[in-house]
Structure 1
Amino acid sequence: MSNDSLFNSSNAVADVAVIGAGIIGVACALRLARQGRRVVVIDQQEPGRGASFGNAGHLATEQVFPIADLSILKRLPAMLMDPMGPLRLDWKYMPRALPWFARLLLNLRPAPFQRTVVGIRALNESSLGAWHRLLQAIDRPELMKEDGSLLVFERADSQQAIEALQVRMRQQQVPVDFWQAKAVRDAAPQLSEQIQGGLFFPRTGHFLDPFRVVGELVRAAKSSGVQFLKLRVEGGQLSEHGVSLITDQGRLTSHQVLIACGAHSAKLTAMLTGKKVPLDTERGYHLMLPHEHGRLPFAVTSLERKFIMTPMADGLRLAGTVEFAGLECPPTMERAWQLHRLSKGLFKRDLSAEAATPWMGFRPSLPDSLPIIDRVCDGKVLLAFGHQHLGLTQAAVTAEMIAQMASPLTDAQPHSLPATAPYRLDRF
């Protein structure tokens, strides 16, 4: 079907219109198409060019705790004053951010905090298995390296914090081992002698090229009949028979719509469901070092320096900084370059920044650190957004959950999926 005919037809052009061509939207589109659904994916960018392009590449199944804890109150002055700090709040954005931060703090009370941990854990524990199934289905299992990751510390006085974190992780059934300095040097001999030890997480992994993962899923989706349309969705409304979307090229109708456009999801969700969701964005930065190959065998995070280094096909990616400044403020690329300065002293020989490229993207975050994965409006609207910095990790299991929600009367999945209650829209 041509693009022109999509806008000239009075009938639904698809069973499901997926808004968002990031890793989550594309993975969902592929799963839905392989259920026999007619699927179109709509985005104003090429697939994978948003946050999916620049993530850390780390499959972070160990990260089962919310994005902040109560210590954020003590750090607030530094967040406002230090433009290069690991967690920054732009003072000009503070009035808009305060309601979101207030809700975040309320969710750090014991009962809601525990609900968040349970919700994150359920998704993370299912994530690697779902990624195995998805990559096997497209004959690309080699894209995922399930070789663990390491959190290192450099100061002797950090060992107590590391040991306390290990206890908390084990209480949540996260596989974790304490490594002495010798074990760290044996596994990653190019790291500095000043590293005292660390925590190794064997049930984690990484992608050598996250953007290629999206590309391979797109290729498989197109082979399954999915159409990709480069459009801007400006609005929409529900009808008796489905959903009508208003785009910059006309009106497009479908039986169902899946909103999976990350940090840009709130406006369309409000239009279609009448529900205003407290969605904000963590602006994440990375610095890609193309001349650094073979430095690390797996992803390594620094406890004190608060950033991650992931080996990739195109070099070494440094990532992990968080900035709250909204969707409109220009990027502060100096924050990306700051990552190279943070790496100094972590290796026996400093990393080369020759021909390095900086990047900034938007991580969609809700104040309880859980995504929205739901089926609402009598099944006409599906929702999959708000995964904060775990979008890559949780994309494949989210796709399985959405596929089940889109066709709830189909046969049960051959594998168990997380219960959907923690991720429902009506929790807000």
Structure 2
Amino acid sequence: MNAANNCGVNLGEMTVIGSGIVGLASALNLQRAGFKVSLLDKEGIAAGASQGNAGHFATEQVFPLANPSLLHQLPWMLIDPLGPFRIRPKYFYRAFPWFMRFLLNMLPERRAQNSLAIKALNEHSIKEMKDLLAFCGCKELLHLNGSLLVFEGNSIKEVEREWRMYSNAGVDVELLTGQQVRELEPSLSEHISHGLFFTQVGHTPDPYQMCVAIADKFKALGGEFKVAKVDAIIEESQRVTILIDGEQKISTTKLLLTAGAWSKPLAKQLGHNVPLEAERGYHLMMPQDAKLSRPVASYNRKFIITPMAKGTRLAGTVEFGGLDAPMSPARADCFLPHAKALLPTVFTNANANDGTRWMGFRPSLPDSLPVIGKTKLNNIYVSFGHQHLGLTWSAISAKLVTETILEKETTLNMLPYSIDRFS
């Protein structure tokens, strides 16, 4: 990660709130820089989206989620309980202000600017993650075999349009025939007519184990971890006081907020009203070996299949319903018929009850960019809102926030990621 391991240098106390992949990478990087770091989380290491994501380092995803093509799909999204993009009807009015901002980010100039900021993070993400995992002694947890986007019966004109869109955006991508797709992945269906092969993409066979490996290295180097619910953050003179579990107080020199989808109320205490929404993502973890060597996403079915160490993960969908509503098991189960269509020899006799259903919360901002850097308060910093790309951006985010805290020249221009953009 290119952070100096300043043995013997004490830069003071640093408390990091949130132990997802972004918080873990940041805590370790700050520790290497010379801070005495404590890590707090209300549940445990990688208890949220960081353990249940698709495991895909999606550097090909350079386009903001605010896409004008969504507009004509919105009516059926609101009523289809199993559609790839759903808003729970009872939650619509609560999410309405977020969607108004989302619509504004469909404007061509904003969309182009946001895409450049996404690409800037993507260009550094895999290198920084490779460095981080090498430091943690677990390089085997990152596979760099690329990924596939497959098409079933689409016209060659439509496929070429998608290929040109990615290629023109600077993404390394190859257009493949169905036969070429099956030469890469023989278990895929004969009904696949074309594919896009993203060559500079990676995946992990175990997102949770990746988080555990980083946490273990953090603790081995003297980092402290505590399960605690943070109720309040108070800046006091040159110190920061954290109220935990309703009564205990922790005092620290500096603080970094990386609480993902739960960051909004804490950021508000710091004077920042951030338009953060929780996208509810689902997966179905099946015990079968998909016989794939890379993630395979479906253009038509809007989901992704990732080969994992303990089976095959079927993931995707976006649901807006807040942090409190229970999961909908059917939204996880609906992946299996699609997996059977793409991998007929693997899942022919599979049943959803053989697998494990999961739901997690992606912290999403309407411009598809995270907030990374300073806040209005001295000694308090943020890194959250990484939407679908928390795994992808975790290591580069850790580097950027460390550079900011150390008041060094940052690897990237930090203006697009400033929390002040929502003031």
1:97 equivalent in structure 2: 95
Secondary structure (helix, strand or coil) at the match of 2:341 reads coil
Q: CA deviation at 1:378?
A: 5.3
Pair 1:146 & 2:144 matched = yes
Q: CA deviation at 1:376?
A: 2.3
Distance in 2 between the 1:173 and 1:343 partners? 30
Q: CA deviation at 1:71?
A: 2.3
Pair 1:218 & 2:212 matched = no
2:314 equivalent in structure 1: 318
Pair 1:276 & 2:263 matched = no
State which of 77, 82, 85 in structure 1 corresponds to 2:75.
77
| Aligned residue-pair number | 408
1:421 equivalent in structure 2: 415
CA contact (8 A) 1:263 1:279 kept: yes
Pair 1:390 & 2:386 matched = no
Pair 1:297 & 2:293 matched = yes
State which of 239, 248, 269 in structure 2 corresponds to 1:250.
248
Q: CA deviation at 1:350?
A: 5.0
Q: CA deviation at 1:265?
A: 0.3
Amino acid across the alignment from 2:222 = G
1:10 equivalent in structure 2: none
Pair 1:232 & 2:229 matched = yes
Pair 1:341 & 2:340 matched = no
Distance in 2 between the 1:72 and 1:97 partners? 16
Distance in 1 between the 2:251 and 2:125 partners? 32
CA contact (8 A) 1:126 1:417 kept: no
Distance in 1 between the 2:366 and 2:66 partners? 10
Comparing 361-370 and 335-344, the one that deviates more: 335-344
2:357 equivalent in structure 1: 358
Distance in 1 between the 2:419 and 2:44 partners? 28
Comparing 353-362 and 140-149, the one that deviates more: 353-362
Distance in 2 between the 1:74 and 1:321 partners? 18
Q: CA deviation at 1:426?
A: 0.8
State the TM-score, normalizing by the size of structure 1: 0.93
Secondary structure (helix, strand or coil) at the match of 1:359 reads strand
Amino acid across the alignment from 2:389 = L
CA contact (8 A) 1:300 1:309 kept: yes
1:330 equivalent in structure 2: 326
Secondary structure (helix, strand or coil) at the match of 1:194 reads coil
1:370 equivalent in structure 2: 369
Comparing 228-237 and 244-253, the one that deviates more: 244-253
Q: CA deviation at 1:402?
A: 1.2
Amino acid across the alignment from 1:376 = T
1:4 equivalent in structure 2: none
Q: CA deviation at 1:14?
A: 6.3
1:109 equivalent in structure 2: 107
Which structure 1 residue ranges, 5 or more long, are not aligned?
1-12
2:282 equivalent in structure 1: 285
Distance in 1 between the 2:289 and 2:53 partners? 18
Map 1:61-72 → 2, pairs under 5 A: 61-72=59-70
State the TM-score, normalizing by the size of structure 2: 0.94
Secondary structure (helix, strand or coil) at the match of 1:349 reads helix
Q: Identical aligned pairs, as a percentage?
A: 42
Q: CA deviation at 1:149?
A: 0.1
CA contact (8 A) 1:246 1:252 kept: yes
Q: CA deviation at 1:294?
A: 4.6
Amino acid across the alignment from 1:70 = P
CA contact (8 A) 1:14 1:253 kept: no
For residues 167-226 of structure 1, the C-alpha deviation after alignment (integer angstroms, 9 at most, x for no partner) is: 121222110000111111111111110100110001001001000000000000001211
Distance in 2 between the 1:324 and 1:395 partners? 23
RMSD of the TM alignment (CA)?
1.4
Secondary structure (helix, strand or coil) at the match of 1:162 reads helix
Q: CA deviation at 1:250?
A: 0.4
Distance in 2 between the 1:270 and 1:318 partners? 35
CA contact (8 A) 1:193 1:348 kept: no
Distance in 2 between the 1:384 and 1:44 partners? 17
